[in-house]
Amino acid sequence: MRLVHLSDIHVWRIPRNPFRLAGKRLVGATALLLGRARRFRLERLEEVVERVRALAPDHLVITGDLTTLATPEEFAMARAALEPILADPARATVIPGNHDRYTRSATRDRLFEQSFGAFAPEGRYPWLRTIGPGTALLGLDPTRPGLTARGVLAAGQLARARALLEDAGPIPRLLVACHYPLAVPPAYARALAHKPLVGAGALLEWLEGVGRHLYLCGHVHETWAFRPSAVPDQLSLNPGPPLMSDPDGQRPPGFFEIVLEGARVTVVRHEWTAGAWSARPFHEERFFFPDCPVDES
Residues contributing to the site for Fe ion (CB under 5 A)? 8, 65, 97-98, 219
Closer Cβ to Fe ion, 98 or 236, answer by number: 98
**Where does residue 124 rank: exposed (0-12), middle (13-18), buried (19+ CB within 10 A)?**
exposed
Closer Cβ to Fe ion, 148 or 273, answer by number: 148
Q: Please, what is the minimum distance in Å from the beta carbon of residue 46 to Fe ion?
A: 20
Helices (H), the chain: 24-33, 45-55, 72-82, 104-108, 111-116, 155-168, 189-193, 200-207
Residue 159 neighbours by CB under 8 Å, 6+ apart: none
Cβ atoms of 114 and 101 within 8 Å: the answer is: no
Closer Cβ to Fe ion, 28 or 172, answer by number: 28
Closer Cβ to Fe ion, 98 or 234, answer by number: 98
Q: Please, what is the minimum distance in Å from the beta carbon of residue 213 to Fe ion?
A: 21
Overall size of the chain counted in residues: 297
3-class secondary-structure state, position 222: coil
CA atoms within 13 A on the CB side of 234: 25
Cβ atoms of 143 and 97 within 8 Å: the answer is: yes
Cβ atoms of 96 and 64 within 8 Å: the answer is: yes
C-alpha span between 183 and 192 (Å, rounded): 9
Q: Please, what is the minimum distance in Å from the beta carbon of residue 151 to Fe ion?
A: 8
Q: Please, what is the minimum distance in Å from the beta carbon of residue 173 to Fe ion?
A: 26
Closer Cβ to Fe ion, 185 or 211, answer by number: 185
Q: Please, what is the minimum distance in Å from the beta carbon of residue 220 to Fe ion?
A: 8
Closer Cβ to Fe ion, 68 or 93, answer by number: 68
The residue sitting closest to Fe ion, measured at its beta carbon, is 65
What residues are paired with 225 via a beta bridge? 237
Q: Please, what is the minimum distance in Å from the beta carbon of residue 269 to Fe ion?
A: 18
Pairing of strands 254-261, 224-226: unpaired
